[in-house]
C-alpha cells in the first residue's frame, strides 16, 4: 500500500487517517506512508514503532530552514499566517475556514513538486503496490499533479487509486454549481474531480453526498461512511454509568471542543445565559478544551455575569474528558459548519442528551424531541433556542431522550467495522 497525505497522527484530534492506516496494517499489508507534514509527536512515533510493516517517509526531512520556510513549513510562513488570521479572519469573518484553506493550499502546492520527484525517483519501490491512497485535498492535488506531469506513471497506477477524503463541507454549494467553483479555491473542488478508480469520503453531515451525486462524475464509485466509534469510547457502551435524569434541581450542560472561532462556544455561553434567565432551576456549564479564543470567552462570561455558572477546565486527557461529559445532562454543539462531530457520537454513547443546530447534518442520527433537541437558525438564535429548551425540558422528557439514545447506539459502527467496509470497497 502507498498512502500520500499531508497529515499527522494526533492523540486528541482527527483519528480517521490513523485508524484507516492501522486497519490496513492489522490486515497484514505493508504500508508506505509518504507525508509532507513536518510535525511528528510522541504519539505518532509510538504508533510507528508498533508496526514494523509501516514505513513513514517525511518528504521534508533534511531540508534547510530557508527551504522549508519558503515551502510553507517554517517560522516565517507561520508568522504570516498568524498575522492574517488575527487581523483579517477572526475579527472580521468570524470563521477562518476559507482563508486558512487558501494558505493550506499555497503550502501544499509548494510541496507537490517535491513529492512528485520522490515518486519519480522511487518508481520501482511504489510500482508493485496493491493500492495507492491519496488522502484529502493534498492527496487530490498530488494525484492531479501526477496525472498531468507524470502521465506514464499515472496510466500505470490509475486503476488502483483511491481518493480518501475526511469530509466535504459542501452543503453551502448544494444546488449551486457555479458557486461551488468560484467561492471555494478552484483547486480544492478540482482535487475531487481527479479520476481515481474509487472515492472514500467521510460523511461529515454537510450533504456532500447530494452534491457529488448531482455534479461529480463518479457513478457507483463513491462510498460515504460516518466516522467510527473510538475504541475507548466503544468500551464505554458496556460500562457507562447510567446517571439519573436531570439530577436535583440543577441542569448541567457541557461543551467540549477546541476554543476557536468557528466552534462558536460564544454562542453556547449566550444560550446558557438565556436559559438561566428564563428558568427557575439552577444551571451549570462546563467547557472542556483550550485554544486561542479562551481569553475572549472568559471575558464574555464575565460581561454576561455568568462567572459563577460557567467553569473552564482547560484541555483534559481523553479519559478525564469522557468522565466529565458522562456526568452531565446535556451536551451542546453549535458549530458554524457541520455539527456531526465526535461530540455527537460521544453524546449518544454516554447518553448525554445532545443540543445542536437543526442544519441537516445530524438528521441520520438525531431526531428533535426524540433523542435530542435541535434548534433552527434564526436572527436571535440563542434566545429562541433557550426559549424552546425551557418549554421542553423536564425530568420525564430528559429520561425519555436518554432511553432513545440507547436505541440510537445500535446504528453506530466501530472503527474496526468501518475498516472492514473500507477494505471491502477498495478490494471488492
Domain boundaries, the chain: 2-228+414-427, 232-411
Note the pLDDT of residue 70. 39
CA 280 from chain centre, in angstroms, equals: 37
- Same fold for the pair 2-228+414-427 and 232-411: yes
Identify the CATH number of the domain defined by range 232-411. Answer: 3.40.50.2000
Alpha helix segments (H runs only) across 377-414: 381-392, 395-408
Q: Per DSSP, what are the bridge partners of residue 2?
A: 32, 132
Q: How far apart, in Å, are the Cα atoms of 119 and each of 69, 90, 104, 112, 122?
A: 23, 38, 22, 11, 5
| CATH classification number, 2-228+414-427, choose in 1.10.3470, 3.40.630, 3.40.50, 3.30.70 | 3.40.50
- What is the pTM assigned to this prediction? 0.72
Q: What is the pLDDT of residue 323?
A: 87
Residues (pLDDT < 50) of the chain are 62-74, 85-105, 171-188, 241-246
The helix or strand, by DSSP H or E, that contains position 313, with its residue range, turns out to be: strand 310-314
pLDDT at 425: 85
- Contact (Cβ atoms closer than 8 angstroms) between residue 61 and residue 27: no
Provide the pLDDT for residue 32: 86
Greatest CA separation found in the chain? 72
Place of cell 472514500: 200
Distance of alpha carbon 165 from alpha carbon 332, whole angstroms: 26
Which pLDDT value is given to residue 413?
83
Amino acid at each position: 500500500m502507498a498512502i500520500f497525505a499531508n497529515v499527522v497522527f494526533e492523540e486528541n484530534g482527527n483519528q480517521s487517517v490513523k485508524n484507516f492506516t492501522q486497519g490496513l496494517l492489522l490486515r497484514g499489508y505493508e504500508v508506505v506512508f509518504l507525508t509532507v507534514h513536518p510535525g511528528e509527536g510522541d504519539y505518532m512515533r509510538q504508533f510507528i514503532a508498533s508496526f514494523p510493516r509501516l514505513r513513514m517517509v517525511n518528504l521534508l526531512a533534511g531540508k534547510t530552514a530557508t527551504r522549508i520556510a519558503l515551502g510553507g513549513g517554517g517560522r516565517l510562513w507561520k508568522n504570516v499566517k498568524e498575522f492574517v488570521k488575527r487581523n483579517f479572519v477572526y475579527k472580521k469573518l468570524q470563521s477562518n475556514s476559507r482563508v486558512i484553506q487558501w494558505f493550506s493550499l499555497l503550502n501544499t502546492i509548494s510541496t507537490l513538486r517535491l513529492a512528485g520527484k520522490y515518486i519519480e525517483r522511487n518508481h520501482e519501490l511504489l510500482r508493485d503496490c496493491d493500492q495507492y491512497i491519496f488522502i484529502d485535498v493534498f492527496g487530490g492535488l498530488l494525484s492531479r499533479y501526477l496525472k498531468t506531469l507524470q502521465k506514464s506513471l499515472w496510466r500505470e497506477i490509475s486503476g488502483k487509486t483511491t481518493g480518501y477524503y475526511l469530509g466535504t463541507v459542501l452543503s453551502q454549494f448544494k444546488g449551486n454549481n457555479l458557486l461551488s467553483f468560484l467561492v471555494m479555491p478552484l483547486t480544492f473542488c478540482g482535487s475531487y474531480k481527479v479520476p481515481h478508480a474509487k472515492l472514500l469520503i467521510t460523511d461529515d453531515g454537510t450533504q456532500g453526498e447530494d452534491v457529488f451525486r448531482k455534479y461529480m462524475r463518479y457513478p457507483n464509485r463513491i462510498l460515504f461512511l460516518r466516522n467510527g466509534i473510538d475504541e475507548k469510547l466503544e468500551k464505554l457502551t458496556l460500562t457507562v454509568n447510567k446517571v439519573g435524569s436531570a439530577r436535583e434541581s440543577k441542569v448541567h450542560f457541557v461543551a467540549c471542543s477546541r476554543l476557536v472561532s468557528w466552534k462558536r462556544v460564544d454562542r453556547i455561553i449566550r444560550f446558557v445565559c438565556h436559559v438561566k434567565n428564563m428558568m427557575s432551576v439552577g444551571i451549570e456549564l462546563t467547557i472542556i478544551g483550550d485554544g486561542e479564543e479562551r481569553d475572549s470567552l472568559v471575558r464574555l462570561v464575565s460581561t454576561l455575569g455568568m462567572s459563577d455558572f460557567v467553569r473552564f477546565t482547560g484541555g483534559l486527557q481523553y479519559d478525564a474528558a469522557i468522565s466529565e461529559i458522562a456526568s452531565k445532562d446535556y451536551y451542546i454543539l453549535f458549530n458554524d459548519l457541520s455539527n456531526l462531530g465526535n461530540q455527537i457520537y460521544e453524546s449518544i454513547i454516554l447518553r448525554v442528551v445532545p443540543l445542536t443546530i437543526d442544519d441537516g447534518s445530524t438528521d441520520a442520527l438525531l431526531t428533535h424531541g426524540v433523542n435530542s433537541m435541535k434548534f433552527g437558525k434564526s436572527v436571535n438564535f440563542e434566545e429562541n433556542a433557550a426559549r424552546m429548551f425551557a418549554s421542553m425540558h423536564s425530568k420525564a422528557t430528559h429520561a425519555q431522550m436518554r432511553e432513545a439514545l440507547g436505541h440510537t447506539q445500535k446504528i453506530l459502527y466501530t472503527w474496526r467495522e468501518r475498516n472492514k467496509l473500507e477494505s471491502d470497497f477498495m478490494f471488492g
